[in-house]
Structure 1
Amino acid sequence: MKGQWTLIISLALALIVAIFAVVNVDAVSVNYLFGEAEIPLILVILGSVLVGGVIVAGVSVFRFFSLNRQVKLLNNELQAVRKEKEGKKEEQKKQVTASTVGQDAGE
């Protein structure tokens, strides 16, 4: 259900940006570091949204891989703890078995 709401909100925001961009079609002067150009405002708006989306996607991918690496490390640590715990249980079983065998032999 969360994925559906995310999609609906994303589509609504995309529609708002598209309407905003289509309404603003006048040419504007854009100053670059190396020059100046007359560009329709719709292209400036859509370009800005595209660059913002690429930046957000890049940060999200970085975060995803960082969290994925952390999950793998924690899973490895959990498996090591489980193996250690199983080893202690086996050792306790051996001690119980040895003590019962010693008691049987002493009788």
Structure 2
Amino acid sequence: MKLQWSLILALVFALITALFAVINVEPVQVNLLFNSVHIPLILLILGSTLLGGIIVGSFGIYRGYRLQKEVKILSAKLAQIQEATGYEFLDNEKSAPEEADHEHPPQ
């Protein structure tokens, strides 16, 4: 559900940005480090939005990669510990009825 809301908010933001960009089509002077250029404001707005999206997306991909790597390392450590101790975790479905019995003992 969180992914759906994020997608809806992203689409709304994209629509607002596109409308804002279409309204502002006059050429503007952009001062670069060594030069200045005249470009339409719509290109500047859409280019800045695109660049911001690429930067945010890159950080998200990097974070996901790093978390996957950490999960892989921790899973290997868990398997090694389980092998060394012989302990096996129970599935949540199997342990749920047992936990329910411990929480509410018969009277």
User: Is the TM value for this pair above 0.5?
Assistant: yes
Give the match for residue 13 of structure 2.
13
Residue 55 (structure 1) shift: 0.6
State how 1:21-100 maps to structure 2 within 5 Å: 21-86=21-86
| Structure that is richer in helix per residue | 1
Q: Secondary structure at the match of 1:11?
A: helix
The 2-side partners of 1:40 and 1:72 are apart by 48
What do residues 4-27 of structure 1 show as CA deviations (whole Å, max 9, x unaligned)?
111111100000100111111111
**What is the TM-score with the length of structure 1 in the denominator?**
0.76
- The CA deviation at 1:64 is 1.0
**TM-score, length basis structure 2:** 0.76
Identity of aligned residues (%): 47
Q: CA RMSD in A?
A: 1.2
Q: Which residue of 1 aligns with 2:102?
A: none
Name which one, 1 or 2, has greater alpha-carbon Rg. Answer: 1
Distance 1:58 1:3 in 2: 18
- Over 6 Å off, 4+ runs: none
Secondary structure of the residue that 1:39 maps to in structure 2? strand
**Partners in 1 of 2:16 and 2:74 — Cα distance?**
42
Offset of 1:34 from its aligned partner? 2.5
Q: How far 1:84 sits from its partner (Å)?
A: 1.2
* Structure 2 residues without counterparts, runs of 5 or longer: 88-107
